[in-house]
A and B are shown apart, each in its own frame.
Chain A
Amino acid sequence: MSRHTVDDLQAIADAIVAEVRDGEQIAASVTRSTETDVRVRNGEVEHFVSAQSQSLGITVIQDGRTGSSSARMFDEASWREVLAEARENASFGSIDEFAGLAEPDGVEIVEQKLWDNSLAAFPTDKKIEIAKDLERLVLAQDPRLRIDEADYADGATEEASATSLGIRSSSRSNSCYATVSVLVDDNGETQTGWAYALGDSPDKFDLPAAAQKAAERATRLLGAVKPASRVTTVVLDPMVTAQFLGIISGTLVGENVVKGRSIFADRLGEKVASPLITLIDDPTDSRAYSACETDGDGLATRRNVLIQDGVLQMFVHDAYSARRANTKSTGNSGGCLALQLVPGTKTQEELIAGIDDGVLIDSVQGLHSGVNPVSGDFSTGASGLVIRNGKTAEPIREFTIASTLQRMLLDVQAVGGDVDWLPSRAAGLSLVISGVTMSGA
């Protein structure tokens, strides 16, 4: 049980699941949240959004049939209506002998710091100042820079859930960030860059570092040309690696495995990656941005080693896929929750120093359209810097890099030590992959 309870919301969730009938299971989740979003341009507030919202979701399983319903109100009349609707919806589902909510498994929650009092008390006018400061700091980096937009945003969520099998959890979380996207003009050419600042509360933001990063991203692409097509070695920047791991994670999710949609379905215990790869999903690691205490089924999250020294160890499961695969839930309802690669020791610069001919991939575009995790085909637009004789050289853009997910994992030549706990479900680090086709002019 998490230490923070949200009594009024928990009472509603409890009341809903108390309605359970014979042969039925009910799960209810009740959420209340607030958000602030400030956008600044040219020293003025462009918009200020201040809002509160709430939502209620109910899932009903009757004799192996599943139905759900949701709404924005949770007074008693409303939740009774939603419950009736979920029950009606369940009556149209197919009978699935594996359907069912998670059974409590006794795994203890690893507490996370999800709430920050200083963020909750942070004054509104100072939030506006943060966005203005970020804009000012960026413009001070280089006279050719323009601001596309500078934003400050925060949100707070209180949530309580209950199931008729006795799982109850409630939590309170808040978070904040500032982002900036910039444009740089030179000789009739425009390039773009972006950066963000993170912290438990806004006073922990490193705005100067964000400003420098945004400026660097944009200016270092000035003069970029389209490269010739060839097979090469790429160094993925940490953010790109995190996106790559996000795609890989889908192939390791139990539901895709049991439904025959994973390229690794029959490969447990086999070598699927370079021996340099040890991939762990660990939402209990408080350094991870997406660290959390419970999964979508309400079970405690846990550390799972998915690939050890290149050998596939396990898939992640929620209650449903675990039942189908005749195994136990790994606390992964919702998929991989906080991935990380076990890091190497070299900095990105040291990794690049070992490459005669390659490309540093600064950013990718179109992962949603050119990657198919079922077939394994990987193709994405990219921009970056040429690596020549161990050093970064001229910028390049408007090209694609392509391979297959299977080959890329096996072709990993080095894993960086530069772990970056990015605002995503995967931590980033520099990754060197050979045998990638670069397609350009």
Chain B
Amino acid sequence: MSLVDLSQEFDSAVLSRVLAKGRSTGAGFSEVFIEDKRNMGASLDDGKVEAVNSTRDSGAGIRVINGDTTGFAYTADLSEKGLLAAAEAAAAAAAVGDGHVHTVSLGSVARQQVNNVRILPTSVPKARKVELLMIANDVARGIDQSIVQVSAGYSDATRRILVANSDGVFATDEQVRTIFRVSTVADGDTGMQTGYDSVGYTIGFELFDEESIEELAQRAARQAVTKLRARPAPSGAMPVVIKCGSGGVLFHEACGHGLEADLVARGASVYANRVGEQVASPLVTLVDDGTMSREWGAIGIDDEGHKSQRNVLIENGVLTDYMWDHIRSRNDGHAQTGNGRRQSYQHLPMVRMTNTFVLNGTEEPDDIVRATEKGVYVAKLGGGSVNTATGDFVFGMTEAYLIENGEITEPLREGNLIGNGPQVLADIDLLGNDFAMGNPGMCGKDGQGVPVGDGQPTLRVKSLTVGGTAA
């Protein structure tokens, strides 16, 4: 069983007419983005499978660019009539009105196979998905009698997209993602603590042949149990060691967003006008790679029809390039980099990350801890956010420990870490050789969420501010 390429369901002559209608008020560029998305999700809480839900959402977004003005309209009506009406609305929104007919011819469909799906989630009985939730619940509760609550979530998404534009781009992709999450609550003398872990890839239901739900549930439960004996996190600036595969969000916030060409063009990034300059410790080579098969941010094409690719953003600490979408590329005469993404057909594309990661260094991870007299070891980071204009960013630590005399000692309660992007990048003084990708993430920008991946080896930042309450 395989997915039908959307180009088989839409006549290129119809798409050409829609694109021509988009340009009917004189615009230089028109684009149709068609999306057909199915989601199935089930959640368990308090021992019960309480919600089984499925959604189908399909529609088209029509974008018309006239000079510096973009007109945009979307519709759930995928008939030719519906598409033409949306194109007319988008054209009117971007109108200068030369009234000429601009014909558009589309070539053959461009595709890039990045992800391989063995078992389509839609082909798996829902009962099997629900069964996984019960397993996670039983395993997590069995870890320790202090576990008082467990919730688990299964969700899969099957997204087929088609992009056609007046430059002749005609491309399709199918993106199948499957994810499983477990949250736990443990109760002890000092109150309640929580644990969380997730696993997700851009693959189908074979996820569960490759990954153990039992181990995932055990990790989520142990995290909460361990934190029952956690003491308040320290406050102030100190060395922070971040475990491999847990802290990619640091780079996502410290520099990832600041390297998005739209923010750079607006002068809202501390990394603007700094290509060729040393912006990080020479240890740091940062890559954004949409072709990284299976990873959470992997895509065959971006949501503007451009093939995904591997882009080196920082090489040995030197800024080499930003990430680009159609508009920024056109305005700056730069090649697109496969980073034009959108949440859905109801949204305009913009510059977004895919899988963003730091390449391996040479240190043994144990040596990094041993070299640290006193500091914090972060085993799991939570979310984060950044003000790209100032570079100030925060990220949460959901599992962390004290480092005392070169050893990992007591667990710490949760808190935020705060730093300034360029300063933190410069302060990375030890980089491990144990690269790993982290948990699947959802990146929010301008109200839109897209799936992204991140990764890094174990590393040390020689000074970061830890936002705890202890002296």
Contacts and interface: CB of A to CB of B under 8 A. Distances in A.
A402 interface: yes
B54 A440 contact: no
Contacts of A95: 48
Contact of B416 (A41, A93, A381): A381
A370 B68 contact: no
A381 B467 contact: yes
Nearest to A88: B126
Interface stretch (A67-75, A133-141, A240-248, A339-347): A67-75
Given A45-B69, A190-B389, 11 more contacts: A72-B58, A93-B52, A96-B50, A229-B236, A260-B185, A365-B392, A370-B394, A370-B415, A374-B194, A381-B394, A441-B465
Interface string B242-279: 00000000000000000000000011101000000000
Given A369-B384, A374-B192, A402-B235, A47 B418 contact: no
A370 B396 contact: yes
Interface string B400-414: 000000000000011
B385 A366 contact: yes
B56 A50 contact: no
Interface string A396-411: 0111111110000000
Contact of B56 (A41, A52, A71, A439): A71
Listed residue (A90, A96, A365, A377) with the most chain B CB atoms within 10 angstroms of its CB: A377
Interface stretch (B1-9, B71-79, B138-146, B159-167): B71-79
Interface in A21-63: 41, 44-54
Given A44-B68, A96-B50, A379-B467, A53 B74 contact: yes
A439 B76 contact: no
A259 interface: yes
Q: How large is the interface on A (under 10, 10 to 19, 20 to 34, 35 or more residues)?
A: 35 or more
A72 B76 contact: yes
Interface residues of B, number: 78
B233 A379 contact: yes
B305 to A, nearest CB: 19
A85 B465 contact: no
Given A53-B74, A148-B266, A379-B467, A192 B54 contact: no
14 contacts: A44-B69, A47-B348, A51-B72, A72-B58, A95-B48, A96-B48, A259-B149, A263-B192, A368-B383, A368-B396, A377-B414, A379-B396, A398-B418, A400-B235
Contact of A47 (B47, B71, B236, B268): B71
Interface string A89-123: 11011111001000000000000000000000000
Contact of B70 (A47, A69, A399): A47
A183 B387 CA distance: 11
B383 A400 contact: no
B384 A366 contact: yes
Contacts, number: 239
Given A374-B194, A377-B415, A400-B467, A72 B59 contact: yes
B389 A48 contact: no
A400 B52 contact: no
A-B pairs with lowest CB-CB distance, top 3: A400-B467, A369-B396, A370-B416
Interface in B129-151: 129-130, 148-149
Nearest to A54: B76
B371 to A, nearest CB: 23
A375 interface: yes
Given A375-B193, A375-B414, A49 B76 contact: no
A400 B418 contact: yes
A94 B93 CA distance: 49
Contacts of B266: 41, 148-149
A261 interface: yes
Contacts of B466: 439
A83 to B, nearest CB: 12
Interface string B45-61: 11111111111111100
Contacts of B55: 69-71
Most B C-beta atoms less than 10 A away, residue of A73, A192, A366? A366
Nearest to B66: A45
